[in-house]
Structure 1
């Protein structure tokens, strides 16, 4: 437990590489319309590489000074996030309480789920045009969520974290858009600042981002950090599975 005079904060971890990320990368490279994936989004597991990435996060956690170690975990209920939290905590040797919260789930893509960018353009041209008109932040695919919708549910869960975990360091294991939108909400970013932040790639698998709360203001001390993955065989400079609509 941290000292009473130490302010709390957030350590945001994206889940490790999932089989959905692998399928998305393969579909994009093949120019396919759809991902070859047979699980629902909530049940899509980590790949073997994703498990190793999660363990690398755990090794990073174990090396932190005691005052910088998390006190509690809040986690998306999706399988790939739960597996990441479990593998990371196991590798770190930490026995921390884990709270699952559906408000930390990935953005729901509705009818565009499992479509690549090219597949959406070819199979759903009207939706592609509507997305271009409304913009990435406000476009809501039928049956899915816009980025603004996700921000709305995050305002609720972040208020609960602030209330329940005051003064504690919270490890949040979640998804790429969610991590970017946590920064959007807490740092009061604009739409343009949000998408400048994620650029054309997004938040990488098993990356770490840290935010601290000082004198009523949130600020990021690191973002999309993957230095702890450098020892893995695969390169960590690319943003995995981001050209397709899959996770």
Structure 2
């Protein structure tokens, strides 16, 4: 089975839920003010601007660095990001449910304070098990998401070996692709999550070396947003940098 020639993942643009979550955490609320189920959360106006800037970056890539094919999460915020980013590029795109966001089960829609207040036993269990293996009731652990991504990577290598593949997904997926592609340990992965916040419409990518092995090229990079007239969100300004 051939290795991929290149792999990228773009986190979706800023969503209305991202905006609501920041406001809820800042105000000390227990609940995030959400009007859609997670799969149907749309982009904010800033998120649409970020996705269009990503399109300008993609169309400006030289041929040897352009993706051959794209695969997106079926969640609306990722679908809309992909639609806007791929407009005019001619890059074919498909959906794969294995790229969906991590499912939080009974904790869905709660702030950190809300989890502590409403489910103190779950907050304690999470502290005991650690972020990677903790599975909220009705939800997924990071390890669960890694399993579906591992299967997806196998299918991508089988179906698109030797090609350049662009993914559109969610923040946890960016971290977990680094875990899988680079063979990180749990401790190394958790260090990454403590040090970085994955920026909206950031680009993380790997290119095959002379031996055909994918090696890191860029991580959590939002330089294209500034270069193409989009406003990174405040947290993006702090946490975006190349590898």
- TM-score norm. by structure 2 comes to 0.91
CA offsets 1:78-127 (integer angstroms, 9 cap, x no match): 0000000000111xx21221110000100000011110011111111000
1:218 Cα shift? 2.3
Provide the residue aligned with 2:117 in structure 1.
122
Preserved CA contact (<8 Å) 2:208 2:214: yes
Provide the residue aligned with 2:54 in structure 1.
57
Is residue 213 of structure 1 aligned with residue 208 of structure 2? yes
Preserved CA contact (<8 Å) 1:226 1:236: no
Preserved CA contact (<8 Å) 2:197 2:235: no
Q: Aligned partners of 1:195, 1:51: CA distance in 2, in Å? A: 30
1:178 Cα shift? 0.6
Provide the residue aligned with 2:221 in structure 1.
225
Q: CA RMSD in A?
A: 1.7
Structure 2 CA distance for partners of 1:58 and 1:233, relative to 1, 3 Å: closer
CA offsets 1:49-95 (integer angstroms, 9 cap, x no match): 100000111111111111100111011010000000000111xx212
Structure 2 CA distance for partners of 1:69 and 1:195, relative to 1, 3 Å: same
Secondary structure at the aligned position of 1:107 is classed as coil
Preserved CA contact (<8 Å) 2:133 2:141: yes
CA offsets 1:190-224 (integer angstroms, 9 cap, x no match): 01111222325421100001112332432211000
Structure 2 CA distance for partners of 1:165 and 1:102, relative to 1, 3 Å: same
Preserved CA contact (<8 Å) 1:104 1:154: yes
Secondary structure at the aligned position of 1:238 is classed as helix
Which of the two has greater helix per residue?
Answer: 2
Is residue 101 of structure 1 aligned with residue 96 of structure 2? yes
Preserved CA contact (<8 Å) 1:27 1:36: yes
**Unaligned runs of at least 5 residues, structure 2:** 238-243
Q: Aligned partners of 2:17, 2:23: CA distance in 1, in Å? A: 10
Residues 5-84 of structure 1 aligned to structure 2 (within 5 Å)? 8-84=5-81
1:235 Cα shift? 4.7
Preserved CA contact (<8 Å) 2:4 2:165: no
Q: Aligned partners of 1:31, 1:200: CA distance in 2, in Å? A: 23
Q: Aligned partners of 1:187, 1:235: CA distance in 2, in Å? A: 27
1:233 Cα shift? 6.4
Deviates more, 1:151-160 or 1:191-200: 191-200
Structure 2 CA distance for partners of 1:139 and 1:239, relative to 1, 3 Å: farther
- TM-score norm. by structure 1 comes to 0.90
Deviates more, 1:119-128 or 1:198-207: 198-207
Provide the residue aligned with 2:240 in structure 1.
none
Q: Aligned partners of 1:228, 1:40: CA distance in 2, in Å? A: 30
Provide the residue aligned with 2:145 in structure 1.
150
Q: Aligned partners of 2:11, 2:235: CA distance in 1, in Å? A: 15
